Structure 1
Amino acid sequence: MELTEQFAYDWNDVRGWAPDTAANRISKSNFDLLIEYTRIIESWNETGNLLIERNSSDSEEAKDCNIAIISLGYIILGIILEFWLRAFLSVFYEDYIVDPCRYKTGTSKKSKDPANDMTLAELINYCSDPVKGIGSCRLHVLNDSTYRDWADRIRRRRNAVHSFQAKTSSFTVKELSDDIEHLQPFIYGLIFQLPDPTDR
């Protein structure tokens, strides 16, 4: 939580310090919402487990309720992950737009804006690919297969939450708790690569 709040404080107004392309994108970020989502997910082990304990019966209704609770956890975790990856590439947008491996839209070959146009799968692939992501655009923490797999698992589980797709029944509280535990080290690794705000 402290990392997220410090990032919001340091990067909420970077005009005159960061390049205009980065400042324009980051200034549109909803830092307040990110902080609230982070507060929810960091207290999940307490509140989420409490809700599941209240639905401890073996009825189908209780099982469906627990699946919904766990799914909501992955939705929030996915939102947080996506925010950080968009913020990361927004900071290094000047590097991104000159990368020949950057994502482009259809036949127009116009660069996809990481703040708006790239999917979570594209963000993960670009930041972790040893070929894509030149220099500063390569997120080092995703070079670790543990965190690369973690990010992709969150993406898949967030996307699996559809009323017509029975893909969430195998998700467990333990798995969600373990994935939440990886969030802070991931954020730390990402922030470590950002320019130091004290140098502004």
Structure 2
Amino acid sequence: MMGFWKEAHGWAPIEAAELLNKSMLEWQGSLAEQLSVWCGTLTDGQLILAWANLGALVEGQMKLLLSVYYQDYLTDADAIKKKGHTLDPDGVTLEPLILFFKRRIWSPEEEWETWVRMVQQRRNAIHAFKAKTIGTTDELHAALAKFLEFVRFINGRLPYPDGHYFPPEY
């Protein structure tokens, strides 16, 4: 999925293609390949790293959607702003992304916000000085299954040149 969008020149709007080209989508792909590392029983340190891995991927999926629809995002009244200037998706942190998606992308009956905030909170345990909830290995595994649904949710909203391209699931 990330490899496909990294090569969007020629059919995607030029501004979106340039933003996607400069983004580190290949790192997103590499991080996704590491998810299998977290399938067994994990120590606390491994669990913290797994949540950080998952959190980076969730944030990356959200940024991908906004980057693909970059022109629409720039003209959206709810676009993420700082000092009156719309921020590019690649420079936005997770909290403003959550707020934007809550207002503009997720429908009220979808429970994505609750799940993303749980991932966010557990990902922040990477700042390992203050006690934070990291959950259990089983909770992480459930979150990984939900992540696949999230990737499908995002991918289902992306425009592909042939209208029906779907990245392979490994």
Q: TM-score, normalised by structure 2?
A: 0.87
Per-residue CA shift, 1:39-83, capped at 9, x if unaligned?
Answer: 21134213xx2xx4xxxxxxxxxxxxx221111010000011111
Structure 2: where are the runs of 5+ without partners? Answer: 164-170
SS in 2 for 1:24: helix
Q: Give the alignment partner of residue 195 of structure 1, picking from 143, 159, 168.
A: 159
Q: Give the alignment partner of residue 172 of structure 1, picking from 114, 117, 136.
A: 136
Aligned residues: 164
Structure 1 segments of 4+ aligned residues over 3 angstroms from their partners: none
Q: Which has the larger radius of gyration?
A: 1
Q: Which amino acid aligns with 1:126?
A: F
1:125 aligns with 2:99: yes
Q: Which amino acid aligns with 1:193?
A: R
Larger RCO: 1 or 2 (CA < 8 Å, sep 6+): 2
**Alignment RMSD, CA only?**
2.0
Query: Hey, what's the Cα distance between the residues in 2 that align with 1:166 and 1:94?
Result: 41
Q: Quick check: 1:37–1:80 contact (8 Å CA) kept in 2?
A: yes
The alpha-carbon deviation at position 143 of structure 1 amounts to 5.4
Q: Residues 1-200 of structure 1 correspond to what in structure 2 (within 5 A)?
A: 7-46=1-40, 49=41, 52=42, 66-106=43-83, 109-116=84-91, 118-129=92-103, 133=104, 138-139=105-106, 144-145=110-111, 147-168=112-133, 171-199=135-163
Structure 1: where are the runs of 5+ without partners? Answer: 1-6, 53-65
CA 1:143 to 1:28, structure 2 compared with 1: closer, same or farther past 3 Å? farther
CA 1:31 to 1:114, structure 2 compared with 1: closer, same or farther past 3 Å? closer
Q: Quick check: 2:3–2:29 contact (8 Å CA) kept in 1?
A: no
Q: Quick check: 1:67–1:171 contact (8 Å CA) kept in 2?
A: no
Q: TM-score, normalised by structure 1?
A: 0.75
Q: Quick check: 2:38–2:46 contact (8 Å CA) kept in 1?
A: no
